Amino acid sequence: MVLVLALGDLHVPHRAADLPPKFKSMLVPGKIQHIICTGNLCIKEIHDYLKTICPDLHIVRGEFDEDARYPETKTLTIGQFKLGLCHGHQVIPWGDLDSLAMLQRQLDVDILVTGHTHQFTAYKHEGGVVINPGSATGAYSSINQDVNPSFVLMDIDGLRVVVYVYELIDGEVKVDKIDFKKASTSTSAP
């Protein structure tokens, strides 16, 4: 039962001051085992804040990140699932599902987490699942000015995943749930 927090596109301090207080009150240390961040934090203070929530932090580079050392893409294995992480501004057209599916096949992962569009999506195709956690601060994007703050929490338990989507709509936190599972993989070489 592993809890993985996925968030990104905070754009602090350029486009937003901080995470919404309702989100901050929920994100207490001790509950979450991993954080995967799609990028565009942009400053070190946010990096440190995320580190206090959970010491295992994975970040990829967004185009406005001030720390140039983050990688462009990252893959990690949590439980039985392979997760891929990429900001998404590299994939053109932005947010296009076919192109993201191509990236997913390239990275060879079950779940691909990308951002950049500041819009939550969860999409399934033959290669796996693509999840976009949206913007955790509700910062405006190049294509969209009216953004609801959102982030995603995944509960990975064996071969099953429950995705909890937290959105701030009209000042209230609304939680949605998506579940899917993976067919048990047969062992590779004899």
Partner 1 sequence: MVRKKVPEWLNSTMWSTPPSQPSSFNDDSTLLRHSPATKMSSMKKQEAESISVTPPPSTASSVQSPSPRPRNNGSSISGEYGNSSVAPSSAEDFSRQAHLSAELSKKVINMKELRSLASQSLPDSPGIRSTVWKLLLGYLPPERSLWSSELKQKRSQYKHYKDELLTSPSEITWRLVRSKGFDNYELKSGSRCMLSRSRITDEDHPLSLGKASVWNTYFQDIETIEQIDKDVKRTHPDIPFFSAESSFARSNQESMKNILLVFAKLNQGIRYVQGMNEILAPIFYVFRNDPDEDSSSHAEADAFFCFVELLSGFRDFYCQQLDNSVVGIRSAITRLSQLVRNHDEELWRHLEITTKVNPQFYAFRWITLLLTQEFSFFDCLHIWDALLSDPEGPLVRFAKSIDAQDPLLSLQESLLGICCAMLVLVRRRLIAGDFTSNMKLLQHYPTTNISHLLYVANKLRSKMLV
Binding site for partner 1 (CB under 8 A): 1, 3, 25-28, 30-31, 97, 110, 121-129, 153, 155, 157, 160, 162-166, 174-183
Say if residues 157 and 78 touch (Cβ distance below 8 Å): no
By C-beta, is 15 or 119 nearer to partner 1? 119
Looking at the Cβ atoms of 62 and 95, the one nearer to partner 1 is 95
The residue (of 32 and 57) whose beta carbon lies closer to partner 1 is 32
Residue 3 CB, shortest distance to partner 1, in Å, is: 6
Which helix or strand (DSSP H or E) is residue 30 part of? none
End-to-end, the C-alpha distance of the chain in Å comes to 29
Closest contact distance (angstroms) between CB of 9 and partner 1 is 20
Pick between residue 14 and residue 31 the one whose CB is nearest to partner 1.
31
CB 97 within 8 A of CB 123: yes
Q: Is 30 exposed, middle or buried (0-12, 13-18, 19+ CB in 10 A)?
A: exposed
Distance CA 12, CA 69 (A): 18
From CA 10, how far away is CA 16, in angstroms rounded?
7
In the complex, the smallest distance separating the C-beta of residue 31 from partner 1, rounded to whole angstroms, is 6
Tokens at 34, concatenated: 């991993």
> Whole-angstrom Cα distance, residue 145 to residue 126?
32
Asked if the bond preceding 133 is cis, omega within 30° of 0, the reply is no
Task: Tell the smallest beta-carbon distance from residue 70 to partner 1 (Å).
Answer: 26
Give the residue with the Cβ less far from partner 1, 59 or 154: 154
Smallest gap from residue 156 Cβ to partner 1 (A): 9
